[in-house]
Amino acid sequence: NAGVMQNPRHLVRRRGQEARLRCSPMKGHSHVYWYRQLPEEGLKFMVYLQKENIIDESGMPKERFSAEFPKEGPSILRIQQVVRGDSAAYFCASSLGRGQGRYEQYFGPGTRLTVT
C-alpha cells in the first residue's frame, strides 16, 4: 500500500531556472495539499487541489508559483525563475476528502529544493 510519493527527493536549480515538483497521492485519495518548510520553521500551507480544480491557493506566492492536479497523473508544483529564498523542503499531503473519516492528511517524504 504505497503512501504519498514525491519526486524528485532532492532538486538543485540555479537562480532563474524552473523547478517542477511532483506528487502522487495515496491510492484512492483525490485531494492534494502542498506545504513549504523553511529551515527551522514549521510547515506553511500553500495550496489545496482536487482533480482538475484549485480549491484554495491562499498560501501561494502571487508570482512565479503555480500548481495543478490534472485528471491523469501527479500533482505538479511549478516554480518559475527560482531565487535563493525558494530553497526549502516542499511537502505534499493527500486525503480522501473533507468529511468525517476522510479529512486526515498523509504526508509524502518531501522534495528538498536548493537554489544556487
Partner 1 sequence: ELKVEQNPLFLSMQEGKNYTIYCNYSTTSDRLYWYRQDPGKSLESLFVLLSNGAVKQEGRLMASLDTKARLSTLHITAAVHDLSATYFCAAQGGGADGLTFGKGTHLIIQP
Residues of this chain that interact with partner 1 (CB under 8 A) are 31, 33, 35, 40-46, 48, 55-56, 58-59, 91, 98, 103-110, 112
What grid cell was written down for 43? 510547515
CA distance 92 to 76: 10
CA angle (48, 77, 59) in 5-degree steps: 45
Taking the least distance from each CB to partner 1, the nearer of 25 and 108 is 108
Taking the least distance from each CB to partner 1, the nearer of 66 and 105 is 105
DSSP state of 106: E
Q: How far is the CB of 2 from partner 1 (least distance, A)?
A: 14
Taking the least distance from each CB to partner 1, the nearer of 17 and 59 is 59
